[in-house]
Each structure stands twice: as structure tokens, then as C-alpha cells.
Amino acid sequence: LPIIRAHVSPDYVPDSKFYKVEAILRPWRIPQVSAALLKMGIRGVTVSDVRGFGAQGGMTERQAGSEFSEDKFVAKVKMEIVVSKSQVEAVIDKIIEEARTGEIGDGKIFLFPVSDVIRVRTGERGELAERMMGGRTDMSSPWSST
């Protein structure tokens, strides 16, 4: 399937060092999405089972029998990924590439500025806390790949 991008906006408002990419997606697409993100060095991801209502309305997924809802809300998965500003577009592109079927109910992506990141184990903040060992930044640095 071709990827449809209306336009790319490299200058987000408000400006921030980090952003949260929040994607509401079809549950049965999650394994594919997370595998692709991991492959591109995105290692910090949080997922939650949620239920939602959009254009798809109460129509349950045809592709998976396990997705059953007794009311108008359809089972979805919320994926939250905090990344540095320079990684946002690549993450969005990958999610679209892996999650899209072209049918109503493919989901939506929301982008939020993130003020700070704090690693509980070390107390690190900012870039130090957001970076992950073997993460995308490490992968793209030629001097760190041994």
C-alpha cells in the first residue's frame, strides 16, 4: 500500500526537545508496528488496551475474531512513544507504513511536546534520560557501532 503523507511539518508548535507520539491503532497490527519500531532503534514504547469511537463507529474488526465489543466502542491499542524531535517524522512514517490497511478504523496519531524526561533509576534528566542504550541515536552514530 502506498503511504499517504499530506505534508511534512518539521517545525512543530510549540517547539520542544522531545515529543510524545501517541497512536491509536488496530490491535492486530501492533506486533508488526512494534517489531518495525524496534528494528529502527525505537526501544522505549508503552502500550495500553483502550476502547474508542471514531468514524468506524461500533463496527467490530472483521479481521480478528477476538476483537469483540458489546457496545459502541471498538477495541484499540494506544501506543505512546517519547522520542527526540529529530526522530518524530521517522516514527510517524513507520507507524503509518505498518498500521495502514486503507479501511476506515486504521486509527489516528497525536503529537505532544514533552517538557522533560527523568530516568527513575539514575535521576538523569533530558537527553541523558531520553537516550536508550542501543537506541536509534546509537545506531546512527558511526563511531558507536562495534
If one asks whether residue 81 binds ligand ATP (CB under 6 A), the answer comes out as yes
C-beta nearest to ligand GLN: residue: 135
If one asks whether residue 95 binds ligand GLN (CB under 6 A), the answer comes out as no
Please choose, out of 3-11, 41-49, 55-63, 72-80, the segment that lies near ligand GLN by the rule CB under 6 A.
41-49
- In order, the DSSP letters of 104-120 are TT-EEEEEEEE---B-T
Beta bridge partners of 21: 81, 111
Taking the alpha carbons at both ends of the chain, their separation in whole angstroms is 35
If one asks whether residue 34 binds ligand GLN (CB under 6 A), the answer comes out as no
Minimum distance, C-beta of residue 122 to ligand ATP, in the bound complex (Å):
7
Minimum distance, C-beta of residue 57 to ligand GLN, in the bound complex (Å):
32
Residues near 131 by beta carbon (within 8 Å), at least 6 away in sequence: 137, 138
Please choose, out of 1-9, 56-64, 72-80, 133-141, the segment that lies near ligand GLN by the rule CB under 6 A.
133-141
Which is closer to ligand GLN, CB of 67 or CB of 90? Answer: 90
Which residue among 29, 76, 84, 96 contacts ligand GLN (CB under 6 A)? 84
Which is closer to ligand ATP, CB of 37 or CB of 74? Answer: 37
C-beta nearest to ligand ATP: residue: 44
CA angle 42/127/109 to nearest 5° reads 45
Cβ of 81: how many Cβ atoms within 10 Å?
22
CB neighbour class for 145 (10 Å; exposed up to 12, middle 13-18, buried from 19): exposed
Binding residues among 104-143 for ligand ATP as defined by CB under 6 A:
119, 121, 132
Calpha distance 87→19 (Å, rounded) = 9
